[in-house]
Amino acid sequence: MMILPSVAEIGPLVAFAAILCALMLGAAMLLTLWRIARGPSLPDRVVGLDLVALLAVSVIGLLALVHHEAAFLDAALALALVAFLSTIALARYAVQRPRSGSRPERPEEEQP
Amino acid sequence: MSITLSDVVVAFLLLSGGFFSLVAALGVVRLPDVFIRMHASTKAGTLGGGLIMAAVAVELWDAGVTARVIAIIAFLLLTAPIAAHIIGRAAYRIGVPLWEASVVDEWRGREDPAPPEELDTGPQRPTQPLPPPASGSVQG
Amino acid sequence: MILFMLNLCLAVGWGFLWSDFSLSNLLAGFGAGYLALLASRPLYGHSRYFGTVWRALALAVYFLWDLLRSSIKVAWDVVTRRHLSRPGIVGVPLDARTDGEILLTANLISLTPGTLSLDVSGDRKTLWVHAMFIDDPDTLRRDLKNGMERRVLEVLR
Amino acid sequence: MDVLLALLAGLLTAAAVWLLLDRSLVRVLFGLALLGNAANLVIFSAGRLTAGAPPIVPVGAEAPLETVANALPQALILTAIVISFGLFAFALALVHRAHKDLGTADIDALHDAEPSPHADPHHSTPETGR
Amino acid sequence: MAAAAHPSKAPPWFGPAFALPPAIAALLFALLLPTVSGGTAHEWTLAWAPELGVELAFRVDGLSLLFALLVTGIGAATMLYAGVYMKEHPRIGRFFLYLTLFMISMLGLVLADDAIALFVFWELTTITSFLLIGFTHDDPTSRRNALQALLVTGGGGLVLLAGLLLLGMEAGTLRLSQMDGAAVQASALGTAMAVLVIIGCFTKSAQFPFHFWLPNAMSAPTPVSAYLHSATMVKAGVYLMARFAPVFGDMAVWVWSLTVAGALTAVIGALWALRQTDLKQMLAWTTVMALGTLTLLLAGSESVSIAAAMTFLVVHALYKATLFLVVGILDHDAGTRDRRQLSGLLKAMPLTAAAAMLAAGSMAGFPPFLGFIGKELTYEGALALTALPWLSAVGLVLASACMVAVAGMIALGPFLGRERRSVAEHPHDPPFGMLIGPILLAAMGLAFGLAPALISGSIVQPAVVAVMGGPAEVKLVLWHGVNVPLMLGLLTFAIGIGLYVFRHRAIAAVDAVVTRLPTTGDAVYDRSLTGLKWLAAAQTAVLQCGRPRVYLAATVAVVAVAVLATLVVGGGLRWPAGNPTPDLLGVAAVVVAAAGTVLVVLTPSRLAAIGGLGMVGTAIAVLFLMHGAVDVATTQFLVETLVVVLLAVAMLRLPPLTRLPPRPRGTAVRDGLIAGAAGLMVTCVLLAVLAEPFDRRVTDFFEAASWPEAYGRNIVNVILVDFRALDTFGEIAVVAVAGLGAYALLRNDRVVPKAPADSLILRTALRGLAALLLVFALFMLLRGHNEPGGGFIAGLIAATAFALVTLGHGVDKARRAVGATPRAVALGGLALALAAGLAGLFSGGAPFEGLWMFLGGDPAAGDKGTPLSTVLLFDIGVFLVVVGSVLAIVFALEEEA
Amino acid sequence: MSPAMLLTLPIAVPLAAAIAAFFVGRAGGPQAARWVSVAGSAALLVVSLALMAEVWAVGPIAAQMGGWAAPFGITLVADVLGAVMVVITGLSGLAVALYAVADIDPARSRLGWHPLYMVLLAGVSGAFLTGDLFNLYVWFEVMLIASFCLLVLGGDREQLDGGLRYVFLNLVATVMFLSAVGLLYGLTGTLNMADLHVALKQVDSPALVTTIAILFVGAFGIKSAVFPLFFWLPASYHTPPVAVSAIFAALLTKVGVYALIRMFTLVFTQDVDYTHGLLLVIAGLTMVTGVLGAAAQTQMRKILSFHIISQIGYMVMGLALYTPLALLGAVFYLVHHIIVKANLFLVSGVAKRMTGSFELERIGGLYRAKPWLAVLFLIPALSLAGIPPLSGFWAKLVLVRASLEVESWLIAATALVVGLLTVFSMSKIWVEAFWKPHPDGDAAVTVTAPTRLETVMLVTPIVLLAAVTVIIGVVPQPFLDLAARSAAELMAPEAYVRTVLGAAP
Ligand code: NA
Ligand code: NA
C-alpha cells in the first residue's frame, strides 16, 4: 500500500501533514460511527450524522489538496450545502412522533 | 525539494484541522450529554473543516479555489449553528435528559406550547432530570 | 453595499489592468480599490461603508478567535479524564429584534466558547442558551449581551 | 485498489442480501439502498480505476493531456444512481403506503396477495378434477 | 323454465335445412364412386404453411370415400332426426352449429392427405365432441364426462402429433399417400413412430386400455351418440390405422398391438354391453366391441382381413346409428332408456320397432342382413391374421355371441311382452323426421345384405385397395359355402341365443367377474387426475409458498450458486494485479464503508441504520472522487442526502425494527449462507474481470471527440447529454414516473401536512440559503457541459433547496415557491428533453444530435464563442424532471396523512 | 421515412402520448386522458407497422443516436424480431388501451394511470429496439418503474401486497442485470451488442464469458419468469385491474424472453453446449412447474398467470434448441402468446364483471347467458392450448418438430404433455365459469359495464385480438415467413452486426 496516491504533486512536509490529517479524519469518522451506533437518544445519532457530513467535507478538501484537483471542491461544496438538509430532516424526525390513535407505536428502540 | 513558507502554513493548517476534527469526534463520543456533545461537533468540527479548507486554498492558491473555499467555510459557519439549534431544541422537546451534573435549567417550565402536530404526540416527557426550582439559582 | 460592489469592480478592473486574475492580484486589487475609494470619500456622501469594513473585520477576527478558544476548551474537556464543565441552560434576554439580527446573534453565540443557542422563545424576547461553564448565570448573560450581541448589532445597525 | 473495491462490493452485496431477507420491510429498504451501491462499485471498478484525474478536457486543449479516469463508467453510474434513486423513492413510498393500509411492515404478516391455503376460507376443489 | 325463457321452438325446417348439405355432399361423393372404384384418386391441394411443408391436401381414394359417405350419409340422417329430437331445446342453434362443425372436421379428417392437416381436423373433432358431450352442461356428470373424453382423446392426439411429425421427418414428406413404408420401417425410429401413431388411434377409437371414455360420452344427446360416438368420430382411429396399414403394417409392434388390443377390446366391450340396463350404455359398449373388432382385423396383412374390416365398418355404421336413434326415440317418446322398464311398445310404436328389429338383425349377424356377410368375413379375416389367428377368432366368436344376446335385449325387450303404462302416458311413433333416418339406415342393412354387390365393388373393394396399397379382390356374398367361418357363425348363434335366454344368469356371471376386477379405466383416470392435482398442489405449496422471503432467498441462491459454480468449475477464478496501488485515504474510505455496512446490518435503531447508510454512501462517494469521478461523487452525495431525507420523513410513520424478533438460528444460517454466496459471487466475478486486459477504445473516442466534436470539456457530461443522451432520456423518464408513482401511492384526499420545523432561526436562515442553493443549482446547470455539474446535479441541488423550504416553512409555502405542480414540472421537463432530442431528427439529422449555435467567438483564434444548443435544452429538461419528481415525492410524503 | 425516424418514433410516440395524457388529464378531466392512450397506442401501432414494412423490405436497419457512430454512441436497430415485437407491442397496447377506457376507473385515471401506461409501452418499445446493452437496462427500468406504478395504482390491500412481492424481486433482477452489464463492459470495453458479438470473439477467457452469460440468464430469467425464478409473477399478476394484468401478461415477461433471445444468439454463443443446454433444462422445468402451478389454482387470473410461466418455457425451449426451426418457433410463440394471453386476461375481466368474481367456485353460467363471450374465450383458450387451427397450434407444432429434429425426445415429450395439461387448465375454466350454472342462479350473471360505450370498449379489443389469433391460425404462412426470416437473422447475426457497425467488422 502506498500512503499517498502516486499522482501527488505536494511537498514532503505537506505530504506528511496530509497523512496525519487523513489518519485523524479516518479515526474521527470511526469514532463518530460509534456514537451513531451507540445512541442512546435520537438527537445523539443526529449529532453524529451531522458530524459525518462535516468530516466528509474535510476529507474531500484533503483529497483536493493531495490530488491538486480544484474540481473536487465542487463536490465538497455540494455536500456542504445539502448535508444541512438531512440534519434538519433527521432532527425533525426525532422530534415528531406519530399522532396518538393513528399508530400506537413510537420509535421505542431509542430511549428519549 | 525545499520546504516553502506556504508548505509550512499548509502543513500547520492541515494538522490543526485534522486535530480539531478528531477532537470534535472525540467530544461527540466522550462528552456526557447530547447538548455538551453538540458543543464539540459544532465548534471543533467546523473549525477543523474550516482549517482544512484554508489549507486547500493556500496549497492550490487560485481565485476559483479560494472562492469555493470561502463559500464552503461560510456555509459551514452559517449552517452548523442552525443544525445545532434544530437538534438541540428537538432533544430538549422530546425530553433527552441533561447530564446529571448540570447546574441550571432556566428553560424548564417556560417552553413554548408545542405546535398542534406535536401536541397530541405520544406521552410527554415523564420526568425532569433536574429538581425544581427552575429559577436562575445556581446549585452547588 | 453599493460601495462594496464598486470596490469589487475595482478589484476586477485591477485584474484586467494586469491581465492577471490570480487570487493574490485580485486581493491586491481589492486593497487598492479600497484605498482609492477611501481617498475619494467625500464623493459618496455620508457612507458607513468604510467603517463597516473595519467593524466587520473586527467581528470576524473576534469571532474566529472565540471559535478557536472554544474549540481548545472543548478539546481540553474532551481529552482530560474528568469532565470539568458545569453545564446548564440559561435564558438570555434579546435586544435583537429583526429576524436577521436574531439569527446572526444566535449563530455567533453558538460558535463562541461554551455556549450554544438552543431556541428562541415564541415572543422572541429570550434566547435559550446551553452553556458548558456556568459559574453564575447572570454573569454569563451579561457577557453574552455585551460581547457577541453588541458587536452584531453594531455591524448590522 | 480495485481488489479492495471488489471486496467491498462483495461485502455490500452480502449485507444487502442479508437485509433483503429480513422480515422488516424497513430493513429491506436498507438492503435495496446498499445493493444499488454495490452495483455502482462493480461498474466503476470494472471500468478500471485511475487515481485522481477527472475526465475533463483542460481549457486550451483538444483532449485530455494526461491519462484521465475512464469517463464512460462514470456516466453509466450517474445514470444508474439516478435510476436507483427513483426506484428507491418508489419502493419507500410503497412500503409507507403498504404499512398504512396493511397495518404491518412485517413481510411474514402479508397474506393478501397469496393467502396461505389453510387460511383461505374459499379454498376447495372444483368439480372438474374429480 | 328454459323453454319459457326461449318461447320460440326451432322451426320445422331446421333439421331438413341442416340435413340438406350433407345429403348433397353424400350424393356428390356417390358420384365419385365410379372413378374411384376404377382406381383413380382425386386430389385437391392448397398451400397452407409452405414454410413447414404443410399443405391443405385432400385426396379421395377408396378408403376416404367410404368414410366420407358414412360421414355425410349418416350425418344427413342424424340432422334430420335431431331437428325433431332437439326441437324443444333452447340452444338448438348451437347444437346444429357444433354438429355441422363436427361433420366438416370429420370430413376433413378422412379426406386429408397431409399429416398435419389430418391432425388439425383430428383435433377439431375432439373439440366439437367435447362441446357436444357437454351439451347438457347443467349436469355435473356431463361436464365431467366431456372433460374426460377431451383429455383422453386430446392426449392421444398429442401423441399422434409426435408420431406424425417423426413420420414426416423420416419419410421426407407429410403427404400420407407418398409415404414410403419400407423407408419408414427401416428407420431407427420406426417402432417409436408406430407406437405413437397407435396410441393416438387407440385413444380416439376407444381401444383397451383407453376405452373407458366412450361409454361415459353417452351423456351427450342421443343424436350425438349415434353420429359421433358410434358411426364416425370413434372410427377416426380405425380410419387412421387403415390409412397407415401400408406404412406400418409389416411391423411386429403394429401387428401385435392391434391384435391384442383389438381382441381384448372386442371381448371387454361385448361382455360389458351385456350387463348394462341403460340401452344407450349398452349400445356404447357394443360400439367398443365393434371398434375392437375393427382394430383386430386391421392387424391383418391379408386382403380378406381388410375386406372384413371395411365391410364390418359399413355394417356397424348402419345398424348402430339406427339403434342409437331408436333408443333416442324410446327415450324421447317412451320416457326412459332403462331396458327393465321398457316392454310391450310394439303396438304403440310399430315403425320404431321395425327399424329396431331390422337393425338388430344385422347386428346379430342373421342372414340375410349385411351383418351376416360381415360376420362371416370377420371370422375369415380373423383366421387370416398373422398373430394369434385362432385365439382372435375365439374371442370374436365370444364377442359376437354377446352381440346376438344384446341385439335381442334391444330389439325384442322393449317391444315385446306386456305393455307398461308407468313410463309415459301415450307412447307413440315419433314424427316422420325422426323415423326416416333409422328406417332408411336399417333398410340399407337389409338391402345391402340381399344385394351385396351394391357395395362390394363400388365401396368396399376400393377401400381395401387403398388400405392394401395394391390391387385386391373383394367379393361379398351371402353364401360362402360350408367352411370354418360358417361353423363359427353357427356356434355364435347357438351361444348367443343361449346367452339371451339365460341372460340373467349370464349377466350375474359377468357381474361377478367385473366386481372382482382390481380397477377400471374410469377409476384409473380419476386417480390420475387426483394424483395430478395432488402433485400440482404439493409442487405449488413448495414453490409458490406465499412467503416473499423464501422467494427472494431461492432466487438469489440459485443465481449465486449457478454463477459461482460456472466460474469455479470452468476454472475462471483469477486474481488481478491490483491497480492502482491502494493509498491510505482509499483504505480508510473502504474501512469506513465497511464499518457503515456493519452498522446498518447490526443496529436495532432505524436512525443508526440510516446513519450507517449515509456513511456507506459517503465513503463510496469519496472512493469515486479519489478516482476522478467528480460528477458521480457529487451526485452520490446529493442522492444520499435525499435518501436520508426521504427515509427520515417516511420513517415517522414506519414501525421500529425492534418490533420483530431476530430471525431464528436456522433461518439466520440459511440467509447468511445465501448472502455470503451472493457477495462471493460479486467479488469473484469482478476479480476475474479485473484480471483481464481492458479495451479502452470507446473511452478513447469520447476523450478525443468530446471537445472538438461535441463542444464540451466535461467528458462525463458530454456522454450524458450527447454521446449517450438516450440513456439519460430513459433515465429521466424513470425519475418522472417514480415521481408520478410515489405521488399516486401517497396521495390522500385528506391532506394533513406535517408541521414545519417551527423555528424562527431556521426560517430566517432559509430565506437566504434557499436562494443561494437555487443560484448554485443554476450555476451547476449552465456550466455542466464543461466542468462538473449538469442537469442532474443542478436538479438535485434545486430540489434540496425546495425541500429545505418545505421543512422550514411547510409544504404550502414550498408549493407556492415552486409555482407549479411538481409533476407538471417533471413532465414538462420530459417534454422539453424529448423535444430537444427530436429536434435533431426533425431537422434532418439523427435523434439526440445536438443543434449548435455560437454567439460571438473568433474561429480564427480557435474560440468558438458562447454555445447555445439543443443539448443545453436537453439538460434543462433533465433539470426540470429531477426537480419536479423529487419534489412530487417530498411533498406527497409530507402531506401524507 | 428515414430509418432514424422509423426507429425513434416507436419510443417517442408513446412518450409524447404519456406527456400529453398527463396534461390533457389535468386540463380536460381524468377521463379525457383515456383517449390519449388510445390514440397513442394506435399511433404506435401505425409507426411500428411502417417500421416492420421497412425492415421487411430492406433487412435490418439502424440509427445512430446523436449521429455518433457505433459502438461509441447508442444505436437503435431493428431486425425482423425487433420490428415484430414492436408491432405486437402496438397491437396489444392498443387492445388494452381500448379495454382500459372502460376498465380503468376515474380515480385511477386521476392518479395518472394513462401516462404511466404509455410510458410502459415506450419502455417496452425501447427495449425491443435498442442495440446497446446499457440502454437496454435503461429501457428495462423505464418499463419496470411504470409497471410498478400501474401494479399498485389506486391499490387495495391485495394490490399493495402483490406490489411488494413484485417490486422487491424485480429490483433484485434489475441490480443483477446492471452488474452483469458492468462486468461485461469490464471484460470487453464495449456496450454495443453488435460490437460485443465481435469483441467476445477476441476475449480469451471462456470460463469468465460463460460465467457472465449465466449471470445474464439469472437476470433475464427473473424478468421472464423461468423456473426457479418465477415466484414474483404468480404472486402479483392477479392483483391489479384487468387491463394491467393483461398488458403485463402480454409484454413484460416477453421483454425478458426477447432479451434472452437477443443475448444468446448475438452475444453469448461461445459455449452453446453449456449455456443453451442449461436453458433447455430451465425451459423444460419451467413448462412443467408452470402448468402444474396452474393446475393447483382455482382462480381465473392465477391460472392464467401460471400459464404465462409454462408458456415462457416453450419460448425458452425454442431459444435453447438453437436451430433455425426452433428459433422460428420461439419467435412465433412470442407473437402468438402476447396476443392470446392478453386476450385471456381481458376475457377473464369481462367474465368477472358479469359473474362477480375471478374465483371459479363462485361463478358460472356464462355459457348460457353470454354465448358470444364463450366464443371469445374459446378462441384464445384453445389457441393457448395449442388446438388447431389457431395460432398456438403452429407455435407448438414448430417447437415440437424442432425438438424432434435434434432428437431432444425428452423436451418434445415435455412440450406435448404440458400441452395436454394446458388443455386441462383451459377446460377447467371453461367448465367452471361457462358450463357450470352460477351458484347464485344464472340470473346472477349480469351486464358488463354501466354504459353501452363501455361495454363496446370492453369487447372490441377482445374481438380484435381473437380475430388476429384466428387469422394467424388459418393463414399462418405470412407469420411463419416472418418468424423464419427472424430466425435466420438470429442464427446468422452478421447482417445485424454489419448494419449496426457500418463497415464489415
Ligand atoms: Na407475461
Ligand atoms: Na399454458
pLDDT digits (tens, 9 = 90+) for D65-89: 989 999 999 999 999 999 999 999 9
Look-up of cell digits 477464478: E573
Cα separation, F230 vs F223, in Å, equals: 8
Nearest to F124 by CA among F301, F257, F279, F310: F257
> Which tens digit of pLDDT belongs to each residue from E748-763?
655 566 666 678 888 8
| DSSP per position, E369-385 | SHHHHHHHHHHHHHHT-
Cβ–Cβ contacts within 10 Å for residue E127, how many?
24
Out of C78, C122, C136, name the one closest to residue B27 (CB): C78
What pLDDT is recorded for position A20?
92
Cα separation, E815 vs E794, in Å, equals: 19
Find the length of chain F: 505
Find the mean pLDDT for residues E30-49: 91
Calculate the alpha carbon distances from E859 to E862, E866, E867 in Å: 5, 12, 13
Phi, psi dihedrals of residue E387, rounded to the nearest 5°: -105, 135
Cα separation, E751 vs F360, in Å, equals: 40
Within 69-128 of B, beta carbons closer than 8 Å to C belong to: 77-78, 80-82, 84-85, 88-89, 92, 98-99, 101-108, 110, 112-113
Phi, psi dihedrals of residue E112, rounded to the nearest 5°: -65, 140
- The residue in chain B having the minimum alpha-carbon distance to the alpha carbon of residue A30 is B25
Percent above pLDDT 70 for chain B: 79
Cα separation, E39 vs E23, in Å, equals: 25
Within 63-102 of C, beta carbons closer than 8 Å to E belong to: 99-100, 102
For E421, counting Cβ atoms within 10 Å of its Cβ (0-12 exposed, 13-18 middle, 19+ buried), the class is: exposed
Cα separation, B12 vs B16, in Å, equals: 6
SS3 A99: strand
Residue F125 CA, ligand 2 centroid: distance in Å? 25
- Residue E260 corresponds to which amino acid? V
List E175's β-bridge partners, or say none: E114
What pLDDT is recorded for position E423?
59
What pLDDT is recorded for position F210?
96
Nearest to E593 by CA among D13, F384, C39, F40: D13
SS3 E472: coil
For E445, counting Cβ atoms within 10 Å of its Cβ (0-12 exposed, 13-18 middle, 19+ buried), the class is: buried
What are the chain E neighbours of B78 within 8 Å (beta carbons)? 765, 769
Q: Return mean pLDDT, chain C.
A: 79
> Which tens digit of pLDDT belongs to each residue from E689-720?
999 999 999 999 999 999 998 888 999 999 99
Residue pair E77/E436 in contact (Cβ under 8 Å)? The answer is yes
Question: Residue D109 pLDDT > 70, yes or no?
Answer: yes
What pLDDT is recorded for position C101?
83
Residue pair E71/E103 in contact (Cβ under 8 Å)? The answer is yes
Residue F59 CA, ligand 1 centroid: distance in Å? 28
Question: Residue B28 pLDDT > 60, yes or no?
Answer: yes
Chains F and C touch (3+ CB pairs under 8 A): no
Residue pair E826/E884 in contact (Cβ under 8 Å)? The answer is yes
Cα separation, B54 vs B70, in Å, equals: 8
Look-up of cell digits 444468446: F264
Within 501-520 of E, beta carbons closer than 8 Å to A belong to: none
Interface touch E714/D56, C-beta < 8 Å: yes
Phi, psi dihedrals of residue F150, rounded to the nearest 5°: -60, -35
* Conformational region of residue E747, where left means phi above 0, alpha means psi within -120 to 50, and beta covers everything else: beta
> Which tens digit of pLDDT belongs to each residue from F192-239?
999 999 999 988 899 999 999 999 999 999 999 999 999 999 999 999
Residue pair E215/E285 in contact (Cβ under 8 Å)? The answer is yes
> Which tens digit of pLDDT belongs to each residue from F106-127?
889 988 999 999 999 999 999 9
List E56's β-bridge partners, or say none: E46
DSSP letter for C116, please.
E
Confidence tier at B119 by pLDDT (50, 70, 90): very low
Find the mean pLDDT for residues F389-411: 95
Calculate the alpha carbon distances from B45 to A54, B66, C111, E272, E611 in Å: 7, 20, 11, 99, 18
Task: Mutation target for D interface from E139, E663, E715, E880: give the one with most D CBs within 10 A.
Answer: E715
Whether omega for the bond prior to residue E368 falls within 30 degrees of 0, making it cis, is: yes
SS3 E121: helix
pTM: 0.92
What pLDDT is recorded for position B114?
57
Residue pair B46/A54 in contact (Cβ under 8 Å)? The answer is yes
ipTM, two decimals: 0.91
Within 775-814 of E, beta carbons closer than 8 Å to A belong to: 776, 780, 787-789, 793, 796-797, 800, 803-804, 807-808
**Is the minimum CB–CB distance between A31 and chain B shorter than 8 Å?**
yes
Nearest to E242 by CA among E469, E567, E527, E560: E469
Residue pair C25/C18 in contact (Cβ under 8 Å)? The answer is yes
Look-up of cell digits 479560494: B66
Helix (H) or strand (E) holding F205: none
Cα separation, D33 vs D16, in Å, equals: 8
What are the chain D neighbours of F427 within 8 Å (beta carbons)? 128
Cα separation, E878 vs E185, in Å, equals: 71
Burial F412-429 (b: 16+ CB within 10 A, else e): bbbbbbbbbbbbbbbbbb
Contacts of B63 (CB under 8 A, 6+ apart): C21, C22, C23, C26
**Grid cell in block for residue E710:** 461535441
Cα separation, D126 vs C87, in Å, equals: 76
**Grid cell in block for residue A50:** 451531522
Confidence tier at F187 by pLDDT (50, 70, 90): very high
Confidence tier at D116 by pLDDT (50, 70, 90): low
Interface touch E764/C117, C-beta < 8 Å: no
Whether omega for the bond prior to residue A40 falls within 30 degrees of 0, making it cis, is: yes
> Which tens digit of pLDDT belongs to each residue from E779-802?
888 887 777 788 889 999 999 999
What is the distance, to the nearest Å, from the Cα of residue E558 to the centroid of all Cα atoms in its chain?
A: 28
- Position with higher pLDDT, F78 vs B126: F78
Question: Residue E851 pLDDT > 70, yes or no?
Answer: yes
Distance in Å, alpha carbon of D122 to nearest chain E alpha carbon: 15
Look-up of cell digits 449563530: C107
Cα separation, A46 vs B100, in Å, equals: 22
What is the distance, to the nearest Å, from the Cα of residue E10 to the centroid of all Cα atoms in its chain?
A: 36
Interface touch E648/A84, C-beta < 8 Å: no
Residue F398 CA, ligand 2 centroid: distance in Å? 16
* Conformational region of residue F322, where left means phi above 0, alpha means psi within -120 to 50, and beta covers everything else: left
DSSP letter for C46, please.
S
Confidence tier at D129 by pLDDT (50, 70, 90): very low
Question: Residue F284 pLDDT > 70, yes or no?
Answer: yes
Helix (H) or strand (E) holding E188: none
Look-up of cell digits 479600497: C34
Nearest to F75 by CA among F184, F199, F190: F190
Confidence tier at E4 by pLDDT (50, 70, 90): very low
Phi, psi dihedrals of residue E653, rounded to the nearest 5°: -110, -5
Task: Mutation target for E interface from A2, A66, A85: give the one with most E CBs within 10 A.
Answer: A85
> Which tens digit of pLDDT belongs to each residue from E860-872?
555 566 667 888 8
DSSP letter for D129, please.
G
Nearest to E67 by CA among E263, E212, E283, E234: E234
Chains D and B touch (3+ CB pairs under 8 A): no
Cα separation, F276 vs F282, in Å, equals: 9
Q: Using a CB cutoff of 8 Å and minimum separation of 24, what contacts does E520-524 make?
A: E520/E212, E521/E208, E521/E209, E521/E210, E521/E211, E521/E212, E521/E213, E522/E212, E522/E216, E524/E209, E524/E212
Q: Rounded to 5 degrees, what angle do the CA atoms E176, E178, E180 make?
A: 100
Look-up of cell digits 469592480: C9
Cα separation, B49 vs A59, in Å, equals: 9
